[in-house]
Structure 1
């Protein structure tokens, strides 16, 4: 394992020192609580990388999309950290306790970020952790966190796990010149209206190689649930490249169509994996905290959605049971914004 770079050391120090504001996560009922794990580790150059997954094509929600390991809380007593660790164990096989990790590996809980509001009306708490590899030894002369820990996947939930350069989520282009040769652009972004709010849709395309991406072993009985007419080569950006992305300061765009969120063709057949939406926003915010820098591209300046979650709870939204057809309409958001705090 290479020594951490000075920038990586500062990033971990900043994350350890981060004090999040009071959270409304615990005001959400159990069925509205979720957490994700931002798992960082050092590559051979000492730079930090983050672990992501490609969701299984057979899942009901967000099939084929890139995501951070995570999911819903099991009990009211389960902390966001416990939820994130449990889900990471279930999805990518990250052991829950240190004694189950390969010798010399440790997982440090660094920080928790403000809670985000998912489109499905969940409060999502990002938990940041550092996976520290051991020093070289006779038993493991070349420790590699990705190789040693990541290829243990649950194919029912996760089709692949891959890693991305953490600091690059503050940049408009690939920082590694070699990655710029991979077909596709690292970043595209645009402003869209989300119920009277300006929402910056970040759209990253992460280059993948055999050393940064690991596929789940599909059972013999596996059949792809998508229509056979889907052409894996029909889009290099899973539908995002059908029309040019707006440039910086291009003005507000209409709400994104549902087709934007669907993955066309085989997500795993692309030279780059697409990371967008709330997952991308969480990664941008985590990198802002870690490196003490603002991104090169435009972005929502506030961290998380604590105020909006509190306002929605105040007007009776985010209840234990979600009613049929219940969505966050323009009227609901306006009512929440007008509510006295």
Structure 2
């Protein structure tokens, strides 16, 4: 594994220096607390990559979708960092203690980002970490974090683990010329109405290779569905188009010049059609994509080439919802964040 490139060094330094603002996370009841791990490591060129998963098709929520390792807190005493580390251990086998890593590997807790409000009404706290690798030596093979640590998955929760170029989440196209050879587009996005607010839906398509993606253990008879070469007959869900614009009035606030507000995304958009693992690119979208964009903005000190929500996370909205009695310990049957609920929350004086 190569040493950090100058850009990667600056990115890690920026993340270390990021002053996490006050959070509503600890005001949420235990049942509403969740955390995800943004685990960064260095590739052979010294660039940063981030670890993601494809959720098991048998899960109740977000089955077959790409996600950051993470989940709900176990106790009120468990910090977001401890939650993220525990969930990463359960899902991808990432040790929670440095002494349990292969020699030379350690994990550094860099920072935490503002909470995001999930569609399941959880406050999700992103925790950013850097995986330090041992230096290469004449007696040892070159360290490779993906090879040495990632292929240890819990098939009940995770169908696959894969890595993506971190800086590329600020770009509209694949930065690596080799990635461009993989069928599909890196980025598509559009503005949508989410409970009367403009919300940017990022839709990334991460190229899959044998060295960047690992499947959970299956029976010996199982055949790896990932194509070894791009198959023109396969239409990857990763590069599926967003719904076409409807006759919505252009948003007057919060949108950049020339933007238009499209209707709310249908539920079918969030479902994965076909075998998510049989695609040449894995689709990363929604809250996961937004978290990665925001993390990259902090790390590299750059704004994306594409339009985006300028604020980080949803701390203010979580605070407002708590003040009107939402995000309670128990979620009522059929309870959803309707336009009326969000409008009532926005009227709360802060």
Give the TM-score taking structure 1 as reference length.
Answer: 0.94
Counterpart Cα distance in 1 of 2:159 and 2:286: 19
The answer for the alignment partner of 1:192 in structure 2 is 192
Structure 1 gap ranges (5+)? 223-232
Structure 2 gap ranges (5+)? 223-232, 247-256
Counterpart Cα distance in 2 of 1:44 and 1:285: 25
The answer for the alignment partner of 2:177 in structure 1 is 177
The answer for the alignment partner of 2:297 in structure 1 is 288
Q: CA 1:55–1:20 in structure 2 vs 1: closer, same or farther (change >3 Å)?
A: same
Counterpart Cα distance in 1 of 2:245 and 2:169: 18
Counterpart Cα distance in 1 of 2:260 and 2:156: 41
Q: Matched residue of 1:87: which SS?
A: helix
The answer for the alignment partner of 2:36 in structure 1 is 36
The answer for the alignment partner of 2:116 in structure 1 is 116
1:234-313 alignment to 2 at 5 Å?
235-237=235-237, 240-241=240-241, 249-313=258-322
2:27 aligned with 1:18: no
Per-residue CA distance 1:177-218 (angstroms, 9 max, x = gap): 111111100000000000011000000000010000000012
Counterpart Cα distance in 1 of 2:75 and 2:89: 17
1:147-158 alignment to 2 at 5 Å?
147-158=147-158
Counterpart Cα distance in 2 of 1:258 and 1:156: 24
The answer for the alignment partner of 1:130 in structure 2 is 130
- Tell me, yes or no, if the aligned pair for 1:239 and 1:260 is still in contact at 8 Å: no
The answer for the alignment partner of 1:143 in structure 2 is 143
- Tell me, yes or no, if the aligned pair for 2:204 and 2:238 is still in contact at 8 Å: no
Counterpart Cα distance in 2 of 1:99 and 1:238: 38
List structure 1 runs of 4+ shifted beyond 4 angstroms.
Answer: 219-222, 242-246
Q: Matched residue of 1:9: which SS?
A: helix
The answer for the alignment partner of 2:7 in structure 1 is 7
Counterpart Cα distance in 2 of 1:202 and 1:87: 25
